[in-house]
Amino acid sequence: MDLVTIQQDNEEPKMLKRIKESLLPLVIETWVTSWELMKIMIPVLIIAKILEGLGWISYLSTVLEPVMGFIGLPGSLGIVWATAIFTGPYGGVAVFAALASGFDLSIAQVTVLCSAMLIAHSLPVELVISKKAGANLIPIALLRLVGAIVYAFLLNKICSAFDFWQNPAAIFFKSTAGSQTIQQWSLEQFQNLGLIVLIIFCILVVMRFLKAVGFLRILEKLLALVLPFFGMSEHAAPVTVVGMIMGIGIGGALIIRETSTGKMSREEVFNSMALMGLCHGLVEDTLLMVAIGGKLGGILWGRILFSLVVVFLIVKLTRFMAGKRLQKQVE
């Protein structure tokens, strides 16, 4: 056996060791994340199945028909968005998977649904965080719900007017139309949950890659450059950027810490939480929606632009109103 062969034999175990060292944390993180989500998603799926069996899905579809029709979606998708609003985007995806066979959707419609879920989801938890950070709960709640509807409406109209993404959407989740036994339904949901776990693993891999190549840092710097034009100082902009990229949980915690130091005004806190409310989870949540068929032009770039425009208008309006009040006091 020559020296080259011996070196190759020594390198192979080292390579396998490096692969294991890289994969093990990802597998553990995937398991922990998936387990937390399964505790939400499995009850959601069971409830959705019971509601479907009782015929309540059709009833809820009728109730939600006006809102969903306004944004160009069938009423039956209302239960998907409602689930996302109260649980989170993964809960919405789970219901979407369970009811997938009943949908005949275009790529544009999937993108519109994804956009609505990205702007308004996990409201019971995230609104509490916003309130603790110092933003009034009702205005933020209305901003997110109305903002989701307005953006979804505009996106649907743009897609229709310019014939964007009108091809049929590819639904990867398995769901059989018609009557099923409990065993058949359970097997399909098990397969769908397995696919969601795979999606989570892929998202974590991509997140690590983007962090390693410095993409997240570049995105942070780009956003930090423009945020001062949207009513945020050097104290508010960095934490807002982190919240926009990583989520309201992290961003809200940083805002709470900053407000305790007195560095941020009440107006800055509201502007920051408003922007985070409309536009957060730019990487992980966006990747999830890409995985079920959403297009980046709608769920990422359009969402960022819409959020910045809305917050800019809010800043201008509040400053105008403050100026009017000051003028009246002087008079």
149 Cβ contact partners less than 8 Å away, ≥ 6 residues apart = 67, 70, 71, 116
Mean pLDDT rounded to a whole number for the chain: 78
Q: What are phi and psi of 89, to 5 degrees?
A: -60, -35
Query: What's the longest Cα–Cα distance across the chain?
Result: 97
| Whole-number Cα distances in Å, 282 to 84, 192, 259 | 17, 24, 24
Whose structure tokens read 């205005």? 139
* Of 119 and 218, the one with more pLDDT: 119
β-bridge mates for residue 168, sequence order: 106
Q: Hey, what amino acid is at 31?
A: W
Q: Sign of the C-alpha dihedral, residues 240, 243, 248, 251?
A: negative
- Say how far apart CA 211 and CA 118 lie, in whole Å: 22
At 272 the three-state DSSP class reads: helix
Q: What angle do CA 48, 51, 146 make, to 5 degrees?
A: 70
Q: Which residue, 317, 256, 282, 284, is CA-closest to 93?
A: 284
Statement: residue 184 has pLDDT above 90: no
The reported pLDDT for the residue numbered 202 is 74
- Say how far apart CA 179 and CA 272 lie, in whole Å: 49
Domain segments of the chain as ranges:
3-330
Split at pLDDT 50, 70, 90, the class of 146 is: very high
Q: Hey, what amino acid is at 86?
A: F
Q: What are phi and psi of 224, to 5 degrees?
A: -60, -30
Q: Hey, what amino acid is at 260?
A: S
The reported pLDDT for the residue numbered 174 is 57
The reported pLDDT for the residue numbered 37 is 63
Q: What is the mean pLDDT of residues 265-294?
A: 86
At 322 the three-state DSSP class reads: helix
Q: Which residue, 141, 103, 98, is CA-closest to 121?
A: 141
Calculate Rg over the CA atoms of the chain.
Answer: 23
pLDDT tens readout for residues 32-89: 766 766 776 677 667 766 766 776 666 766 777 889 999 999 888 888 888 888 878 8
Q: Which two tokens stand for residue 102?
A: 């009943």
